[in-house]
Amino acid sequence: MKKFPFSKKAINVMIATALVVTPLASLAPVTGTAVVEAAELTQDEKIAQYVSRLVTAYNYMTPEEKAIVKDVRLALDELEEAKWIEIVGQDVFNKAAEKDGVTEAQLLVAIKDISGLLSATNVGDKEVYVKASIDSFRTKNRDLFHALFGNAVTVDTVINFAVDFENRFFIELGAATLLNTAQNVEEVALATVIYLVDGTNAKYKEFDGILFTNLGLGVADLFDITRAVRDEVDAENNVRDIVIQAGVRGKVTTNASDAITVGTTRDLTFNLTVGESNLTLGTKVQWASSNTAVATVVGNKLEAKTAGTTTVTAKLLNLEVLSKEVTVSASGTTPPPGPGPTPVPPGPTPAPGVVAPILPPVTPGVTIIDTGKLEEALKGQEKVEVVRVTIEAGAGQVAQAKIPNAAIAVIAAKNPNAKVEVASKEGTLRLPVAEVSNAKLAAALGVAAGTEIEITVSVNKVEDTKGVVTKNKLKTVSNVVEFKIHATAGEKTVEVNRFSQYLEREISGDANFNAAKSSVVRLNDDGTFTAVPSVFKGDKAVFKSFSNSKYAVVENEVTFSDVATGKPGAWAKATIEKLGSKYIVQGKANGKFDPIATTTRAEFATLLTRSLGLSTTATYKGQFSDVKGTEWFAKDLMAAVEAGIIKGHANGTFGYNDPVTREEAAVMITRALNLVNFDKDGLDTTKDLTKFQDADKVAPWAKSSVTTLVQLGITEGRPNGFAPKAGTQRAEMATLLERFLVKVNFMN
């Protein structure tokens, strides 16, 4: 008999799972080989129970998740017959045709139905409709199964297997999490197949053998076919993940959403119930808090820091299966504020709702903001966008602004999205008040919420003490300017260096900058430099970054000989050389750009990281089975993964050398758009994919992304359509990136 090449890892998952959950599982009692549920229920009762579980899972999906499932289901229905035959193998159809009364068309219908059953795309919100789809499967395929297998295998055998697989899968998932024996859900699925076919039920072992004898494929091959079909219509495995996540949500009890008071801790619970099995996974799932200023999670311990709300999430094998809002309430009175800084009269009141006063008059060295005076100045203004503070360095001094956290609260009360703009002669920093809230800073300092905290912001010309400019032969056209923020409470001081959003900064030059050749670069402590998104307006360089550091404006000019007029890819010459001059794209070892070569996934991840000026301090932890972490692209890949722009394949690989298709590139750029909070008002909703003759070839998981880029004018088609499955040429890639960066105001 043909055997599916199960990995040793999957077998280990199955063995370890059995040791833990068999005594608990309603599906597999210790001493029995029959499935308890099947023995106790009639076929109709078993199907009714299964239908109820599918409907429950569907009702736990978000509207967006339901839409994705619908799109993939439609795409599955529309997948061309030739592709199905290619995936299944013509030899299977030939073998089936040896049976009297069996046609290729009949078998194709059955395989399509089985694939839909095993991928659970038949979920829905009405039991009557879900049951109707299963009844249709039974009616359509009953005669075919009899012709193929006689009475040995019936349509109900397949349905029972799907039912038992769905139930057992969640037990395997929970146990694999408990024992840390699997890295992804595919391994859990394989372990489930092994358990059912080789370990628990003689009829499924017989079912596997009969399938192979009559068709040349076994049960595991059916899953292989389902997976291959899924790759065609849902390459990112969205539906697989959605169905699993929704299934878990309906089987979990937790205390995560219970209210908690400041200063207390709680052990978070996560109990997964499948049938009569109950797995306690509180210490095994990956917990996280969306607002660590309000509450933090270490292991499964939730610690309440300050009053407010946060969202607590839990992951199983990197799938978010739980999301609960937690309210943290104050445990007592807030400590009274200490003495404030020396009052300084405010400047004139600005136009209502636009800009707050320049506060206070410029004082050499240190400029102190008076909370009371600020509050008085803001009276009568409905909404404040920016509070401007000017600082100036005296002889031998650094220019600083000292801002009490109470002043930040006053501004935030007017507008939680307001910014404090601190400007010196050399540059400007625009600080969102949300990034320096009392809750966030108190957590960073390790002090109680409500403690008086002073924020120090400095913007000063400094020396390149690490020699980054010289080492990298950079041509600077501005001073090196350092942007720093510190928070102080009593004797404690921390540097505030990383932010949850892009901070806008500005460097002033002595003359107008050359926008085509200029870039702002961050001078890193390790001697390297990183170009960051920047726009030039006369003698001002406006740039965005997630971290403070030393920055400078540099000029650079790059040309490539193989994009000259008359050569392939020359249509993108200006764009390619523009991005090259801004340290985003690079040539190959021979100095050429190779514009018509296909871009790989590793290259595209690297280019997105460079385009967005991303960096990371995270170490590689083996997230992808085919990446060691020492490759040339590893650091940039981790930055993109951390930012949520790049994801791997379902099998745990990244596929770094695979071509990035045009639809994959669209999805990645759309994630980048979401990262930078692009203005959706810029969408031209009169445009859609119908302009492309191959619009139906765009995968369901990519349709919304491709549509977004079309409506923004970032992507266009080729002469014969959009060509979603085609590789993205390097010239096309450069054009996509340049249009994206200009659209989000990250480049002139």
**CATH assignment at residue 405:** 2.60.220
Residue 352 scores a pLDDT above 60: no
**CATH assignment at residue 296:** 2.60.40.1080
Query: Sign of torsion, CA 375 378 382 383?
Result: negative
If we measure between CA atoms, which residue out of 200, 187, 177, 154 comes closest to residue 18? 200
pLDDT at 125: 60
Considering the domain architecture, whether residues 372 and 229 belong to the same structural domain is answered as: no
CA distance 656 to 502: 28
Residue 214 scores a pLDDT above 70: yes
CA distances from 191 to 10, 177, 199 (A): 5, 13, 10
If we measure between CA atoms, which residue out of 527, 674, 548, 528 comes closest to residue 610? 528
Domain count, the chain: 4
Question: Which carries the bigger pLDDT value, residue 678 or residue 26?
Answer: 678
DSSP letter at 695?
A: G
For residue 1, tell me if it sits in a domain: no
Mean pLDDT of 571-588: 90
Residue 603 scores a pLDDT above 90: yes
pLDDT band at 27 (very low <50, low <70, confident <90, very high): very low
Q: Residue 220 in contact with residue 197, Cβ under 8 Å? A: yes
263-279: pLDDT as tens digits: 899 999 988 887 666 77
HEC string of 576-614 equals HHHHHHCCCCCCCCCCCCCCCCECEHHHHHHHHHHHHCC
Please give the full DSSP string across 206-258, using - where no structure is assigned: HHHHHHHHHHS--HHHHHHHHHHHHHHH-TT-HHHHHHHHHHHHTTEE-STTS
pLDDT at 551: 96
Question: Which carries the bigger pLDDT value, residue 397 or residue 604?
Answer: 604
Residue 506 scores a pLDDT above 70: yes
Residue 303 scores a pLDDT above 80: yes
Domain boundary among 525, 555, 585: 555
DSSP letter at 43?
A: H
pLDDT band at 242 (very low <50, low <70, confident <90, very high): confident
Residue 361 scores a pLDDT above 50: no
For residue 24, tell me if it sits in a domain: no
For residue 343, tell me if it sits in a domain: no
Residue 33 scores a pLDDT above 60: no
Residue 17 scores a pLDDT above 50: no
Q: CB under 8 Å, gap of 24 or more: what pairs does 143-146 form?
A: 143/101, 144/102, 144/106, 144/107, 144/109, 144/110, 145/110
Residue 341 scores a pLDDT above 60: no
Query: Sign of torsion, CA 239 242 245 250?
Result: negative
Residue 351 scores a pLDDT above 80: no
Considering the domain architecture, whether residues 382 and 497 belong to the same structural domain is answered as: yes
pLDDT at 109: 83
Mean pLDDT of 56-62: 82
Tokens coding 85: 């035959």
Considering the domain architecture, whether residues 150 and 255 belong to the same structural domain is answered as: no
pLDDT band at 333 (very low <50, low <70, confident <90, very high): very low
Tokens coding 567: 């050569």
Residue at token pair 């092994």:
194
Considering the domain architecture, whether residues 271 and 298 belong to the same structural domain is answered as: yes
pLDDT band at 123 (very low <50, low <70, confident <90, very high): low
pLDDT at 528: 92
Domain boundary among 555, 586, 609: 555
pLDDT band at 129 (very low <50, low <70, confident <90, very high): low
Considering the domain architecture, whether residues 286 and 364 belong to the same structural domain is answered as: no
For residue 34, tell me if it sits in a domain: no
pLDDT at 335: 34
The distance in angstroms from the start CA to the end CA of the chain is 64
In terms of residue numbers, what domain contains 271? 251-329
Please give the model's pTM, rounded to 2 decimal places: 0.57
Domain boundary among 218, 248, 278: 248
Considering the domain architecture, whether residues 567 and 617 belong to the same structural domain is answered as: yes
Residue 355 scores a pLDDT above 70: no
Lowest mean pLDDT among 131-140, 397-406, 644-653: 131-140
pLDDT band at 120 (very low <50, low <70, confident <90, very high): low
What percentage of the chain exceeds 90 in pLDDT? 28
Residue 34 scores a pLDDT above 60: no
DSSP letter at 199?
A: I
Considering the domain architecture, whether residues 613 and 550 belong to the same structural domain is answered as: no
Mean pLDDT of 129-157: 81
533-568: pLDDT as tens digits: 999 999 999 999 999 999 999 999 998 888 877 677
For residue 535, tell me if it sits in a domain: yes
Q: Residue 413 in contact with residue 382, Cβ under 8 Å? A: no
Considering the domain architecture, whether residues 455 and 534 belong to the same structural domain is answered as: yes
pLDDT band at 365 (very low <50, low <70, confident <90, very high): low
Which string of b and e fits 34-70 if b means at least 16 CB within 10 Å? ebebbeeeeeeebbeebbebbbbbbebbeeebbebbe
Mean pLDDT of 104-114: 83
Tokens coding 171: 């037990």
pLDDT at 342: 34
Three-class SS of residue 456? strand
For residue 3, tell me if it sits in a domain: no
192-210: pLDDT as tens digits: 777 777 655 677 888 888 8
CA distances from 137 to 111, 131, 133, 140, 357 (A): 11, 10, 6, 5, 71
Residue 37 scores a pLDDT above 60: no
Tokens coding 74: 């439609």
CA distance 92 to 96: 6
pLDDT at 349: 37
Considering the domain architecture, whether residues 494 and 566 belong to the same structural domain is answered as: no
CA distance 211 to 206: 9
Considering the domain architecture, whether residues 378 and 394 belong to the same structural domain is answered as: yes
pLDDT at 180: 62
For residue 179, tell me if it sits in a domain: yes
CA distance 114 to 145: 12
418-450: pLDDT as tens digits: 999 999 989 999 999 999 999 899 988 999 988
pLDDT averaged over every residue in the chain: 81
Considering the domain architecture, whether residues 596 and 480 belong to the same structural domain is answered as: no
pLDDT at 628: 92
What percentage of the chain exceeds 70 in pLDDT? 86
pLDDT band at 20 (very low <50, low <70, confident <90, very high): very low
Considering the domain architecture, whether residues 532 and 614 belong to the same structural domain is answered as: no
pLDDT at 741: 93
Mean pLDDT of 649-669: 90
Residue 179 scores a pLDDT above 80: no
For residue 300, tell me if it sits in a domain: yes
CA distance 379 to 136: 69
If we measure between CA atoms, which residue out of 332, 324, 282 comes closest to residue 306? 332
CA distances from 607 to 427, 646, 736 (A): 28, 12, 11
